[in-house]
């Protein structure tokens, strides 16, 4: 029994760690979509963030500088989406795919010299006061700063979105740009901020992956995490609180995949590796059923985006 509890807790915390990059993207993308803009480019922004963060950490020797650089890279790339969508009025899905390809290409091109470098990790909570907490200390120890920052972002975003005047305007922009305009505010500013925030969070997510979680840079290392996150935003109903369980879904599938392999389960690792895509997709199917019935909190401005091909 105790063995079982330990294993379960280990799995849960492993899930939390591998869910963190996805959680950061879900939070950022949920905020972007709340303003009525969808950005599939988060995958590319995440890759560029991961590469930039790793490169800066490797060159300067300071992983925190890497995290900051990653955030900047994410914001910078997201501005391509902003210019295309807000400035030129281009289709949001197509523009997102363009950003996705650009981020993948740039990170592969400029990341090559850094492949195989060693960097200092961000460290974790081991040997801090946390280790002295009875029972849980053992599991809390491996928690790293990016996990904590991402978790703290949940209440912060929630308060901003639901308790502040700016948050209200942010949400109203996503429901109807006319309302925001009639109230005397420019909806484009809110959407610009929303895209930039999505860029910040996806860049940070890249750093969480490359500088913290794996301490490694490999071409294309995000492997669709950003795209899974865009799907999970729908599962989370555009709500920062639901983002955590939604992202844990991905984390748990990945942790389960690794766990099953370490137990020597006789299933091909390639089949197990489909779990982090299949499980979110299955839950997405379930949550779409609910969405169809009630609308499920989809910002009205997004419906238009989802229903136009050009």
Q: Which residues bind another protein (CB under 8 A)?
A: 40, 80, 83-84, 87-91, 93-95, 97-102, 104-106, 108-109, 112, 219, 223-224, 227-228, 230-231, 234, 268, 270-271, 273-274, 277-278, 280-281, 284-285, 288-289, 291-292, 306-310
Q: How far is the CB of 228 from another protein (least distance, A)?
A: 7
Q: How far is the CB of 113 from another protein (least distance, A)?
A: 10
- Dist CA 27 CA 76 (whole Å): 18
Count of Cβ atoms closer than 10 Å to residue 82 Cβ: 23
Closer residue to another protein in complex, CB, 123/269: 269
Q: How distant, in Å, are the alpha carbons of 216, 220, 224, 273 from that of 270?
A: 21, 17, 15, 5
- Dist CA 264 CA 173 (whole Å): 51
Closer residue to another protein in complex, CB, 98/161: 98
Closer residue to another protein in complex, CB, 155/269: 269
Q: How far is the CB of 258 from another protein (least distance, A)?
A: 15
Contact 202, 51 (CB under 8 A): no
- Could you tell me the two tokens for 227? 């795209």
Closer residue to another protein in complex, CB, 63/104: 104
Name all contacts of 255-264 with Cβ < 8 Å and 24+ positions apart.
Answer: 255/11, 255/14, 255/15, 255/18, 256/11, 258/14, 259/11, 259/14
- Dist CA 297 CA 159 (whole Å): 18
Contact 300, 176 (CB under 8 A): yes
Closer residue to another protein in complex, CB, 42/125: 42
Closer residue to another protein in complex, CB, 113/134: 113
Q: How far is the CB of 38 from another protein (least distance, A)?
A: 9
Closer residue to another protein in complex, CB, 90/149: 90
| Residue 178 burial (10 A CB sphere; 0-12, 13-18, 19+) | exposed
Q: How far is the CB of 48 from another protein (least distance, A)?
A: 12
Q: How far is the CB of 52 from another protein (least distance, A)?
A: 15
Closer residue to another protein in complex, CB, 125/255: 255
Q: How far is the CB of 241 from another protein (least distance, A)?
A: 22
- Dist CA 252 CA 12 (whole Å): 7
- Owner of token pair 């295309």: 84
Q: Which of 90, 69, 70, 67 is nearest to 80 (CA)?
A: 90
Q: How far is the CB of 290 from another protein (least distance, A)?
A: 10
């Amino acid at each position: 029994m105790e063995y079982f509890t330990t294993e379960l807790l280990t799995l849960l915390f492993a899930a939390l760690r591998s869910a963190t990059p996805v959680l950061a993207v879900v939070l950022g993308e949920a905020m972007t979509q709340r303003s009525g803009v969808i950005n599939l480019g988060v995958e590319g922004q995440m890759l560029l963030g991961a590469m930039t963060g790793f490169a800066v950490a490797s060159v300067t020797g300071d992983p925190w500088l890497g995290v900051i650089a990653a955030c900047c890279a994410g914001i910078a790339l997201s501005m391509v989406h902003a210019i295309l969508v807000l400035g030129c009025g281009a289709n949001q899905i197509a523009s997102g795919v363009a950003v996705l390809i650009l981020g993948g290409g740039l990170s592969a091109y400029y990341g090559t010299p850094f492949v195989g470098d060693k960097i200092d990790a961000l460290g974790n909570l081991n040997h801090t006061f946390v280790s002295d907490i009875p029972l849980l200390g053992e599991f809390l120890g491996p928690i790293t700063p990016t996990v904590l920052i991402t978790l703290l972002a949940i209440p912060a975003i929630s308060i901003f979105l639901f308790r502040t005047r700016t948050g209200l305007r942010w949400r109203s922009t996503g429901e109807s740009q006319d309302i925001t305009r009639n109230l005397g505010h420019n909806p484009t500013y809110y959407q610009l901020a929303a895209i930039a925030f999505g860029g910040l969070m996806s860049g940070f997510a890249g750093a969480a992956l490359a500088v913290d979680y794996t301490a490694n840079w490999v071409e294309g290392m995000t492997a669709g995490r950003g795209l899974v996150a865009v799907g999970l935003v729908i599962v989370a109903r555009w709500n920062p609180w639901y983002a955590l369980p939604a992202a844990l879904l991905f984390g748990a599938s990945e942790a389960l995949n690794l766990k099953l392999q370490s137990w020597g389960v006789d299933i091909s690792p390639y089949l197990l590796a489909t779990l982090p895509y299949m499980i979110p997709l299955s839950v997405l199917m379930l949550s779409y059923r609910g969405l169809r019935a009630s609308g499920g909190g989809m910002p009205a401005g997004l419906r238009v985006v989802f229903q136009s091909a050009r």
